[in-house]
Amino acid sequence: MHILITGAAGMIGRKVTERLLKDGKIGRREIVKLTLHDVVAPDAQPTEKTTILPIAGDISDRSVVDRLLAEKPDIVMHLAAIVSGEAEADFEKGYAVNLDGTRFLFEAIRLKNYRPRIVFASSIAVFGTPFPEPIPDEFHLTPLTSYGTQKAVGELLLNDYSRRGFFDGIGLRLPTICVRPGRPNKAASGFFSNIIREPLKGEEAVLPVSESVRHWHASPRAAVGFFLRAAEMDLDALGARRCLGMPGVSVTVGEQIAALRKIAGDKAAKLIRREPDPVIERIVSGWPTDFEARRAQEQGFEADTDFEAIIRAHIADEHDGRAPVMG
Amino acid sequence: MHILITGAAGMIGRKVTERLLKDGKIGRREIVKLTLHDVVAPDAQPTEKTTILPIAGDISDRSVVDRLLAEKPDIVMHLAAIVSGEAEADFEKGYAVNLDGTRFLFEAIRLKNYRPRIVFASSIAVFGTPFPEPIPDEFHLTPLTSYGTQKAVGELLLNDYSRRGFFDGIGLRLPTICVRPGRPNKAASGFFSNIIREPLKGEEAVLPVSESVRHWHASPRAAVGFFLRAAEMDLDALGARRCLGMPGVSVTVGEQIAALRKIAGDKAAKLIRREPDPVIERIVSGWPTDFEARRAQEQGFEADTDFEAIIRAHIADEHDGRAPVMG
């Protein structure tokens, strides 16, 4: 089996790649080759079982997409995207990569006339306020960003191309990934991870919103599990509605901090500095807080059990089970 | 005021054009020019107040779109589309005209850097079974045709371009138009009109489904009213959700026939020949039957009062108030 991952140098892309190389198979089928795409060539190393073809390029360039599909990969995990903030700041680039790039990929597959599995990374950004809490699976998509719009268009195309039999597709609306490893970033959502990751290292973190803010989270580990499940499951049960809200953990910032305190003690919790930022408060107030995600759960997608489990997964994956600051 | 109508040679396009030329204004503003586009040049005649620029061309050709926008029309009514059956039969043509054509139009407006009113003709084909009855305004879009997919993508783009301030857009999800004037056509939905229009002329019509089939209708006259309302109303009240299900009349085929009998007598009703067609039965069983359409009604969009009113509007508009067969 040959798997193509677009956006393979991103955080989730790297973790999915690692896991695939470690497992060496999906279901019962051996993975003999990974084609790893990103704007810079991903640097994963081949194993005895699995060769790696790195391809650097912009998926809004049709010739790049043609190279990605040249060997007709059996599974395509499409994660490449311009992120929310950049797609909002650079309208043309966002549409070029997130909409045209996705369509070029789907079109290239259609014209190759085979029927691979496509796993498309969508996002809860397809939803925009006002909405009920929790949001049911049948609630309409009302994105309030260009990024969310582009993901929602990708979902519609994926449904139609699947219905027409050009490929066998599934879209995963990912919760906010928490705890994101690496350095603090300036994404408006960054603080959800910063306030856990930094104190565990003994570093200060800034909390720009009130503790009553509620949001929807999944660990990187759970997200990797979603992609593996989506790659191997039978999609016929989904019918024509191929895009699913992934299960997650709905918690307030206060509950996040309580979980951190339980695992890493007051010493960690005290490293969180309150510094209210009205701009971030306003942005975050338009974000979804909770989902039913019933269909995904019926299809065997598994969320983290609670926010403590999310922190423990982070400590296991990024600190080999023992963070510098622990209770 | 200068208005561009794409698809102006279509049934609704012609009726909107006629009405605009007759009124000579929208709200209080005089219509000094109509640019009328279609694949063949529309043949409407200018009036004392209003000049006409006919343009023939394919809107999936950017140079045609540039010509349409050259004089920066104040209002763009975008009706041009490949219809459902053809978009399903010719995948590439449907995407070229319905998706690329719409996007080229929106992009051309964005790059002209002015902020016209856009009225986009969407369709209840953005919904696909299963759904609740009636379908609420917040139900997700689950098209089961490529046409419905393309219209749903157009809605998402319209919302995003409006949110970004590139234009002031509104999308109208039109009910099935009934009674369509002209000859019987082979669209799966054709019989809804055929069984009224033909008997009123003393001609036989075939009914391929059972009388219990329920569907959602608006007269051509009501549809024209939707476009006029959309062109003149203040759109700020819609917020970011610019696409509205238009109000209609939900009736069974049996109720349609009873209304025909009431207006045109048994003689007319007896011209309907039952000839069950399992293929059409199956297609129609996936169509929406009823909508809440609450938002549109709050915004002053007005449906026909009932199916009798729909028949009377047809007799008034197509037979000068007196059909050949009447009770």
Q: B146 CA to chain A: closest CA distance, Å?
A: 6
Report the percentage of chain A scoring pLDDT > 90: 94
DSSP state of A95: I
Give the Cβ contact number of residue B327 at 10 Å.
12
Q: Which of B196, B70, B217, B82 is nearest to B147 (CA)?
A: B82
* Set of chain B residues whose Cβ sits within 8 Å of the Cβ of A142: 159, 240-241
Q: Out of B140, B143, B153, name the one closest to residue A138 (CB).
A: B140
Report the residue of chain B nearest A151, measured CA to CA. Answer: B156
CB–CB of B284/B209 below 8 Å? yes
> What is this structure's pTM?
0.97
Q: Which of A89, A74, A175 is nearest to A134 (CA)?
A: A175
pLDDT at A325: 87
Pairing verdict, β B51-56 and B205-207: unpaired
- Per the CB < 8 Å rule, is B157 touching A153? yes
* Set of chain B residues whose Cβ sits within 8 Å of the Cβ of A143: 156, 159-160
Q: Which two tokens stand for residue B14?
A: 């012609």
Class of domain B2-174+219-245: alpha beta
* ipTM metric: 0.96
- Dist CA B227 CA B232 (whole Å): 9
* Set of chain B residues whose Cβ sits within 8 Å of the Cβ of A163: 144
pLDDT at B327: 64
pLDDT tens digits for range A82-141: 998 899 999 999 999 999 999 999 999 999 999 999 999 999 999 999 999 999 999 999
Q: Out of B139, B240, B241, name the one closest to residue A138 (CB).
A: B139
pLDDT at A251: 98
Asked if residue B175 has pLDDT above 80, the reply is yes
Asked if residue A15 has pLDDT above 90, the reply is yes
Q: Average the pLDDT over B149-167 and give the result.
A: 98
Asked if residue B186 has pLDDT above 90, the reply is no
Q: Is A81 exposed, middle or buried (0-12, 13-18, 19+ CB in 10 A)?
A: buried
CB–CB of B167/B324 below 8 Å? no
Half-sphere exposure of A109 (CA within 13 A, CB side): 26
Asked if residue A253 has pLDDT above 80, the reply is yes
> For A24-28, A158-162, A252-256, B103-107, which range has the lowest pLDDT when averaged over its residues?
A24-28
Show me where the domains of chain A are located.
2-175+219-245
- Dist CA A1 CA B16 (whole Å): 56
Q: Out of B138, B142, B149, name the one closest to residue A241 (CB).
A: B142
pLDDT at A273: 97
Superfamily per CATH, domain A2-175+219-245:
NAD(P)-binding Rossmann-like Domain (3.40.50.720)
DSSP state of A247: P
Q: Which of A114, A140, A98 is nearest to B143 (CA)?
A: A140
Report the residue of chain A nearest B242, measured CA to CA. Answer: A142
Angle at which helix A307-318 crosses helix A190-200, to 10 degrees, equals 60
- Dist CA A82 CA A96 (whole Å): 9
